Amino acid sequence: MIHNVASLFAQRERDRYTMHACCLDEQMVRMLKAIGYDVGFCRGKGQYLYDRAGTRYLDLLSGFGVFAIGRNHPALREALKSILDSELPNLVQMDVSTLAGILAERLLARVPHLDKVFFANSGAESVEAAIKFARAATGRPGIVYCQHAFHGLSYGALSLNGDDTFRSGFEPLLPDCVRIPFNNLFALENALRSRAMAAFIVEPIHRKGVNLPDDDYLRNTANLCHRYGTLFVVDEIQTGLGRTGRFLAIEHWNVEPDMVLIAKPLSGGHVPVGAVLTRKHIFEKVFNRMDRAVVHGSTFGKNDLAMAAGIATLDVLTSEGLLENAARTGEYLLGELATMIARYELLREVRGKGLMIGIEFGAPESFKLKASWNLLEAASKGLFCQLITIPLFRDHKILTQVAGHESHTIKLLPPLVISRADCDWILNAFDTVIADSHRVPGAIWSLGKTLAGHAMRASG
């Protein structure tokens, strides 16, 4: 019998792809093999991942944003070990959690206009709670959400998903959800005018495409919601906790929403957790009588490991100055990447805030490139970005992602601990790969042909 799970990992890690193909999601394994990402990562530390051969990779994905403080941070490990070593009375259920009290106090100190915290186990669960809270607080059924929005994949959250690829096959979803374009105040007012809308939920910076709102959008949104009695809910599950150089992204626009949803990085990457920060009057409409003290919740909400992860993460964000680092390194990266636009016709725009950066490509002007681009687009819209991410990974050991289905934007979401040297690693790699993508014929467009072939076969 093996009690040491780490040695079990070492024994079986070479079987991971066969185990997954057999017992889990085989399509994921096929995809990883097709793009050459099946390198067998064996270790993670800070902003780096190491494969079986010990090769170091720079992780610009950070587990979809959970590793803001980097992988396996010593302070986080210490906090979790201290819980395991202490025999604390976790999840008594007929008691209240001390650690949840501490974490709630500390979160509210960072967002002082809000008064209460509800803890969930994930981002999607926080969204579910916000939907229920908004309905309970207003007595209205409707929820307004944005085109291309992403709020998670459970049924309530999926009903607010602005991308049909995720929704298709799972309908019918929640009724009374109204989709409007992001960054469009006319559409918002039209949706709110019925006074049937409990809440408007929005990501301050859209994770799909890293799209930023106009400067006055969020402030006017708050005013409109207030005018029509609709709660203004901001999903900071990806943008929150320092990602954009501020504790919350909405601080850039000086706005005070009625509810703020956070999750991902609060976990330190180790113990799933989510939180709804809300105004007192909303919370008290839900938990309004003693016999309704548990009217919403879940068994593992507020568990000690999750609360400890949250407390340690907040400590590290402050003690290591990670908000400042995100602002500083983000500005450097954005500035340097933007200088490449003049040199590369395929590069359209670089945008973002702090360490949430989108690098957008677009159709070229020159005849040679245009023909290749059009062929690729015809095979599968958005495939071009793979021609950048694959060599970034294979040749430069940089892990990135495309910012959504059919997207021409590559998203950088690194741990907030990245250094100036890491930034130069990123800049040199992008410069080289983007330069290669302007050579026709060339290795990148040969890869394009292969991928286009896969895409055509997959679509039948």
Ligand X SMILES: Cc1ncc(COP(=O)(O)O)c(C=O)c1O
Least Cβ distance, residue 233 to ligand X (angstroms): 11
Half-sphere exposure of 413 (CA within 13 A, CB side): 28
- Nearest one of 243, 329, 276 to 66, comparing CA atoms: 243
Q: Give the residue with the Cβ less far from ligand X, 63 or 442.
A: 63
Q: Tell me, yes or no, if 235 is annotated catalytic.
A: yes
Neighbours of 361 (CB within 10 A): 23
Backbone dihedral region of 101: left (phi > 0), alpha (psi from -120 to 50 degrees) or beta? alpha
CA atoms of 276 and 282, how far apart (whole Å): 11
Given the residues 67, 118, 150, 361, the one annotated as active site: 150
One of 152, 156, 209, 213 touching ligand X (CB under 6 A): 152
C-beta of 70 vs 272, nearer to ligand X: 272
* Residue 74 C-beta: closest distance to ligand X, Å: 25
Stretch of residues binding ligand X (CB under 6 A), selected from 41-49, 98-106, 120-128, 163-171: 120-128
Strand ordering across the sheet containing 41-45: 41-45, 48-51, 56-59, 398-399
Nearer to ligand X, 203 or 304 (CB): 203
Nearer to ligand X, 267 or 372 (CB): 267
Task: Yes or no: say if 274 and 126 are a contact pair by the CB < 8 Å rule.
Answer: yes
CB-based contact 243:217 (threshold 8 Å) = no
3-state secondary structure of 446: helix
Q: Please work out the total of residues on this chain that contact ligand X, with binding judged by CB under 6 A.
A: 14
Tokens at residue 202, please? 């929005």
What angle (nearest 5°) sits at the alpha carbon of residue 35, between those of residues 34 and 37?
110
- Residue span 186-215 as binding mask against ligand X, x where in contact by CB under 6 A, dash where not: -----------------x---x--------
Which residue in 59, 235, 258, 304 is the catalytic one?
235
Buried/exposed 414-438: b ≥16 CB within 10 Å, e otherwise: bbbbbeeebbebbbebbbebbebbb
Q: How far is the CB of 127 from ligand X (least distance, A)?
A: 6
Rule CB under 6 A: say whether 148 interacts with ligand X: no
In the complex, the smallest distance separating the C-beta of residue 65 from ligand X, rounded to whole angstroms, is: 7
Q: Shortest approach of ligand X to residue 154 CB, angstroms?
A: 7
Looking at 151, 246, 279, 408, which residue binds ligand X (CB under 6 A)? 151
Q: What string marks each residue from 61 to 90 as x (binds ligand X by CB under 6 A) or -?
A: ---x--------------------------
Closest to ligand X by CB, 146 vs 451, is 146
Question: Nearer to ligand X by C-beta: 202 or 447?
Answer: 202
User: CA–CA distance from 326 to each of 18, 207, 352, 357, 358 (Å)?
Assistant: 38, 17, 12, 11, 15
Closest-approach residue to ligand X (CB): 123
**Which C-beta is closer to ligand X: that of 122 or that of 437?**
122
Based on the residue annotation, tell me whether 422 is a catalytic residue of this protein.
no
Work out which of 44, 70, 123, 404 binds ligand X, going by CB under 6 A: 123
H or E segment and range at residue 240: none
Q: Site map for ligand X, 232-271, x if CB under 6 A?
A: ---x-xx------------------------x--------
- Give yes or no: 370 in active site: no
Nearest Cα residue to 421 out of 47, 147, 167:
47
**AA letter at 78:** E
Active site residues: 150, 235, 264
Please report, as ranges, the residues that interact with ligand X according to CB under 6 A.
64, 122-124, 127, 150-152, 203, 207, 235, 237-238, 263
